[in-house]
Amino acid sequence: MKTHAHPKGRGDAVDAARLAAELTRQVEGEVRFGSGDRALYSTDSSNYRQIPIGVVVPKTKEDIVKTFEICRKYGAPITSRGAGTSLAGQCCNVAVIIDTSKNLRRIHELDPERRFARVEPGVVLDQIRDTAAEHHLTFGSDTSTHAWATIGGSIGNNACGVHSHLSGRTSDNIKELEIITYDGLRLRVGATSDDEFHRIIAEGGRRAEIYQSLRDLRDRYADLIREHFPKIPRRVSGYNLDDLLPENGFHVGRALSGTEGTCVGYLEATMHLVHRPPYRTLVVLGYDDIFAAGDHVPAVLEYGVIALEGMDSILVGNLQKKRLHPAEDFALLPEGQGFLLAEFGGGTREEANEQAEKMMRDFRGKFARGRMVCYEDKETQDRIFEIRESGLPATARLPELADTWEGWEDAAVHPDKLGAYLRDFRALTDRHGYSGALYGHFGQGCVHTRTDFGMKTADQVRRFRRFIEEASDLVVEYGGSFSGEHGDGQSKAEFLTKLYGPELVRAFGEFKAIWDPAGKMNPGKIVDPYRIEENLRYGKNYHPHEPETEFKYPEDKGSFSFAMERCVGVGKCRRTEEGTMCPSYMATREEKHSTRGRARLLFEMLQGDVIDRGWKEESVREALDLCLSCKACKSECPMQVDMATYKAEFNAHYFKNRLRPLPAYSMGLIHIWARLASRLPKVANFFTQAPLFSTMAKRLGGIAPQRQMPRFAETTFHEAFKPDPEPRPRGRVILWADTFNDHFHPEILHAAAEVLRSAGFQVEVPRARLCCGRPLYEFGMLDLARFKLQELLGELRSDIRAGVPVVGLEPSCVSTFRTELPDLFPHDTDAQRLAKQTFILSEFLINEVQDYQAPVLKRKALVHLHCHQRATMDLNAELELLTRMGVDHELLDSGCCGMAGAFGFEKEKYDVSVACAERVLLPAVREAAQDTLIVSNGFSCQQQIEQLDGRRALHIAQLLQMALREGPAGPDGPRPENHYLPAAPRPPGLVASLAVLTAGAAIGSAVLIPVIRRILRK
């Protein structure tokens, strides 16, 4: 296979097949040149898309060295990549992509005395920040992506962030870099004294040649650098040639920061650390508009802030429309249409408050009441800063409004000129008919915005270019920088001559040539750049395939392709320390197992040029296969990407007219097997529990041999339930008897019925054995799922129209009513009604029952919430119910348990399932005292805890039942029943075994085999 190294003709064609083969032989890490791998890395968080030659995921820095050597042999360009969140196109190229984020994550040294850290390029910013925090130190760069952005990417982009007042840009914190050049030179670079410079020159060789060339370059351009480089805090555009000046220590490491991979590769970085004030005070100021806020920045800066952020009411309104934050967060803001967030720090609470109080005293005459509020507690401060950090997702896709785009995303001016610049910039957008929120690091004059450019027609692209031409002129007038944080890449580099003049732009070219004479390092970015309208991800030729789909995507104009545009590459799904999204990425740290990676592969599938097999594409199926359908992305992804739905959609088409994996029939059709097992539960349990037959059953069903098959209840809830003989005062409620609790844990349904009756409700259960079909979605069995939903709609129609509430106990079933049901039947009014009148137990008792008096249970509890409950239900209702009960509870930030329905039972997924559970959940359960209750509402979660730890988790309905039966009880009161596992039942004797086998054979012949045949034919 031949792949051109560069569409602009830079370099000869690259023999990609031979290159891949040699890399595979010599690199210890992973070499990925398949179409799916190339599609996965085709873009970043920018407007641009370029298909790479291939991808290398190095295991060690020696792998990077070896990759450079082999790429040089074949003439292949190289692009380095961190978390892939760049907003200017610098992380995509027709090159070999080196992704250091998976393996090169070690902190080699952290010296609190000398205040530095020595790290690998794949280390995440929060890794350093959390480690350094133990010594009241921090790494200064704290972009909004600090939980997943890497050091290598931060150096490449010269990242900044909220607290640049403390430390400056990333380049300002570089002590030393270990680098490698395209021609194979490996060296350490930092500040260079005259003595060291002369020693290097005396040694001769390639290093001496580079240093002499750098000195000559500096001397020739020194006066122009001093004269024309913008004198502002946030100059990120261009190269840092000013760091080569004598007064700046001829610091070669800092000069190479912000070069966006166009000069060298980074192997290791030694970073300065700065003092981290342990106490913070936040003052939020409200203004009539964002322009008045900009005018007031210089006055606020006089009081010694450690951070000064700004945002307008458009940003706040967008967040409210998208419901990315609870309403009470916005109530923390003062009155106004523009806001400044002024943070003060100190070694004590009094010290942190002192400057804040002084500023507020001085400002009182200028601010009306309600325009200035102060917060001392960290939790509240974090909530307000999270509003500001949500800027990109808040402005990227807005309900009922045009999509917005980067392109003029982070220009910076001097803070003294900020208010005037904002007015002129808004006038410019108004003239062009554009709009967008204004926010950013106002204390350093950096303004973020996303603009509704359009980008999908030739006219929209022409208008986009005209606007950027004028916007760049405006910044030059103000003595600013095109980029104050996110770099030039392809978005702005074309216009650098306006900013620096032709001579300094020529100097940038010479600087790159000193390091990269062959021009193979990330070509087309910063130096000799592409035009801003080239390589657009969308553009005038954008025409994705629009397939017929099972789901209707009512929130995406009924379009699957429009749904695939949701992901803008924010990268929040790459977090590894908190939240639920994305559990398989947390376990594997593979880009293709992140929500973003899967979304990109689906996007590329619709383009059809790299991934060309449509719904039958194997690389897409592989990426989706480890999706746990946890739905966390539906709520935690700022763009609300719904990967569980996309997976079900894809599998429905992928498996059309072909057999599904064995678990699809053994676990996906659990509603059928459970119904059959309920006829002869002892027979069923014999086959699932007796060692020999259990092993055979698991093998036939594709189930992991380590798993224990759940035991069927001897009497289902349906069979034992007795309706209320008389009406109750609060009216009727339908208790949803889901398949899992009905057939495996009927005691939970009995507990819920007792609780609801004690609350004054008449409990009813549908006479028919209904099922929402939740396990069917995982395997794309959407025809059968739709049939099950139509069946239950028909059965419940009169109750739905009467407004009878439905209370579910299994979160995944309630989630099906909330999400899948209205997505499959968007025009069925009864489906919409049922979605709104179905509740999880805690939601119903807290939000729907007026003055509910919860029974008291004085216990300690460790709480793990099912991921569907976190994603689609009211989390606060669960916590409020526990609080009202008097339960001393701890809510684990444990993400998905890893069982996720059939997922954890599948043989090929067992290791990932366990890894998910071992991240937080299982260690917490093991450490919990024996009298601490383990609370989890999901059947899958209960199974995972029980099978991997031997401890039985209780449903909140069981806690309520215990409280009703025990009354108030102290720590020495009665112990909960069923909290620990009973002794394993004895294996059946020989006579019983033979009887069971005979009965089983008869059932298999008469019932099971015909059913299986019908399923396979379907």
Question: Whole-angstrom Cα distance, residue 956 to residue 842?
Answer: 8
Question: Whole-angstrom Cα distance, residue 552 to residue 501?
Answer: 53
Question: Whole-angstrom Cα distance, residue 818 to residue 841?
Answer: 14
In the chain, how long is the greatest CA-to-CA distance?
Answer: 101
Question: Whole-angstrom Cα distance, residue 448 to residue 406?
Answer: 9
Q: How far is CA 433 from the centre of its chain?
A: 33
CB 486 within 8 A of CB 392: no
Segment 466-474 shows an average pLDDT of 98
Lowest pLDDT segment from 11-15, 341-345, 677-681: 11-15
Which residues are CB-neighbours of 836 under 8 A, at least 6 positions away?
none
Lowest pLDDT segment from 83-92, 141-150, 318-327: 318-327
Whether 879 shows a pLDDT value over 90: the answer reads yes
Question: Whole-angstrom Cα distance, residue 879 to residue 851?
Answer: 16
Within 10 A of 968 (CB to CB), how many other CB atoms are there?
Answer: 11
Secondary structure (3-state) at 536: strand
Q: Tell me what pLDDT residue 638 has.
A: 86
pLDDT grade, residue 308 (50/70/90)? very high
Q: Which amino acid is at 106?
A: R
CA nearest neighbour of 238 among 488, 407, 446:
488
Structural tokens at position 619 = 């690389």
Write out pLDDT tens, residues 759-817. 999 999 999 999 999 999 999 999 999 999 999 999 999 999 999 999 999 999 999 99
Segment 427-446 shows an average pLDDT of 96
- Report which secondary-structure segment, H or E, holds 329: helix 327-330
Across the strands, what pairs with 340?
285, 310
| Integer CA distances (angstroms), 503 to 232, 237, 602, 653, 870, in order | 21, 16, 45, 57, 57
pLDDT grade, residue 400 (50/70/90)? low
Q: Tell me what pLDDT residue 12 has.
A: 54
User: For the packed helices 643-654 and 782-801, what is the interaxial angle rounded to 10 degrees?
Assistant: 130
Write out pLDDT tens, residues 131-178. 999 999 999 888 889 999 999 999 999 999 999 999 999 999 999 999
Predicted model pTM: 0.92
Question: Whole-angstrom Cα distance, residue 896 to residue 894?
Answer: 6
Question: Whole-angstrom Cα distance, residue 21 to residue 258?
Answer: 33
Segment 453-476 shows an average pLDDT of 97
Write out pLDDT tens, residues 249-284. 999 999 999 999 999 999 999 999 999 999 999 999
CB 141 within 8 A of CB 124: no
Whether 960 shows a pLDDT value over 90: the answer reads yes
Strand duo 107-111 + 116-119: pairing:
antiparallel
Over its C-alpha atoms, the chain yields an Rg (Å, rounded) of: 31
Segment 617-646 shows an average pLDDT of 95
pLDDT grade, residue 484 (50/70/90)? very high
DSSP codes joined into one string, 453-473: ---SSHHHHHHHHHHHHHHHH
CB 40 within 8 A of CB 55: yes
Instruction: Note the helical H segments in 729-819.
Output: 739-743, 746-758, 774-778, 782-801, 811-815
| Integer CA distances (angstroms), 310 to 103, 383, 448, 791, in order | 36, 15, 10, 53
Q: Which residue has the higher pLDDT, 214 or 726?
A: 214
Q: Tell me what pLDDT residue 327 has.
A: 80
Phi, psi angle pair for 672, to nearest 5°:
-75, -50
Which residues are CB-neighbours of 623 under 8 A, at least 6 positions away?
36, 40, 592, 593, 597, 598, 601
Q: Tell me what pLDDT residue 369 has.
A: 66
Q: Tell me what pLDDT residue 325 has.
A: 75
Cis check: omega of the bond before 772, within 30 degrees of 0: no
pLDDT grade, residue 967 (50/70/90)? low
Whether 285 shows a pLDDT value over 50: the answer reads yes
